[in-house]
């Protein structure tokens, strides 16, 4: 009997085989363990080798060793990590709330994800806490003096191509808290 066949037989009987500290551990009812104890002893070396190979491949699904869901994501591939997906979703909501069409908001959120991966220090006004307004043509900078976009408050309206352009700004304050995806609203300022 092969190790895989024995593992399948154990699963069908309700016996769980795990690798713990380099040893094969079996758990289940006493009757099931009694029936399988002799085949398990005979194939102990094969079971140990098979379970060790699977543990090295992150394919063991036990309560002791859950595989990392982001193990095949960025930087190992172009796939987004769970955190990046959460941030992307929060940005998408922010951008659509500020008046962007869904396809434009997705493109902007994707550009911001790429910027984050490159550790860039440029931002879009859409990501700034100081952006006011909610539709194309009605955006204005509430930190206009520090940002240097106007000489008077009444001139602080921003064109849409400036709002969506990645740029450096002395008046920028992130709309998201650093290291999380909690959206900063007027009621929960840090």
pLDDT tens by residue, 45-57: 888 887 777 766 5
| pLDDT tens digits along 80-127 | 988 899 989 999 999 998 888 999 999 999 999 999 888 888 999 999
Same domain, 104 and 164: yes
What tokens were used for 73? 């994501």
Same domain, 47 and 94: no
Q: Confirm whether pTM is higher than 0.75.
A: no
Alpha-carbon radius of gyration of the chain: 27
Is the model's pLDDT at 8 over the cut of 50? Answer: yes
Same domain, 152 and 113: yes
Distance, in Å, from the CA atom of 178 to the CA atom of 166, rounded to the nearest integer, reads: 18
What is the band of 137 on the pLDDT scale with cuts at 50, 70, 90? low
* Residue in the block written with tokens 């995806």: 181
Same domain, 107 and 181: yes
Stated as kind and residue range, the H or E segment containing 19 is: strand 16-20
Is 140 in a helix, a strand, or coil? strand
Same domain, 8 and 91: no
**Looking at the domain assignment, is residue 12 inside a domain?**
yes
**What pLDDT score does 71 carry?**
82
- Mind spelling out the 3-state secondary structure of 67-125? CCCCCCCCCCCCCCCHHHHHHHHHHHHHHHHCCCCHHHHHHHHHHHHHHHHCCCCCECH
Is the model's pLDDT at 65 over the cut of 70? Answer: no
Burial label for 2, CB within 10 Å (0-12, 13-18, 19+), is exposed
Cβ neighbors of 93 (< 8 A, separation 6 or more) are 183
The answer to which of 66-80, 94-108, 138-152 has the lowest mean pLDDT is 66-80
Domain count, the chain: 2
Instruction: Show the domain range for 96.
Output: 82-188
Task: Please give the average per-residue pLDDT across 68-79, as a whole number.
Answer: 84
């Amino acid at each position: 009997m092969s190790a895989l066949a024995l593992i399948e037989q154990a699963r069908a009987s309700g016996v769980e085989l795990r690798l713990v500290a380099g040893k094969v551990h079996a758990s289940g009812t006493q009757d099931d363990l009694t029936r399988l104890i002799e085949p398990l002893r005979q194939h102990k070396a094969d079971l140990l080798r098979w379970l060790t190979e699977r543990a090295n491949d992150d394919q063991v699904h036990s309560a002791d060793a859950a595989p990392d869901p982001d193990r095949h994501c960025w930087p190992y591939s172009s796939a987004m990590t769970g955190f990046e997906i959460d941030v992307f979703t929060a940005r998408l909501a922010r951008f659509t709330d500020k008046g962007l069409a869904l396809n434009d908001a997705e493109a902007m959120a994707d550009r911001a994800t790429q910027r984050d991966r490159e550790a860039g220090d440029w931002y879009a006004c859409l990501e700034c806490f100081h952006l006011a307004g909610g539709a194309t043509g009605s955006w204005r900078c509430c930190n206009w003096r520090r940002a240097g976009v106007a000489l008077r408050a009444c001139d602080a309206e921003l064109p849409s191509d400036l709002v969506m352009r990645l740029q450096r700004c002395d008046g920028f304050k992130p709309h998201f808290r650093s290291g999380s995806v909690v959206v900063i609203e007027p009621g929960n300022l840090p």
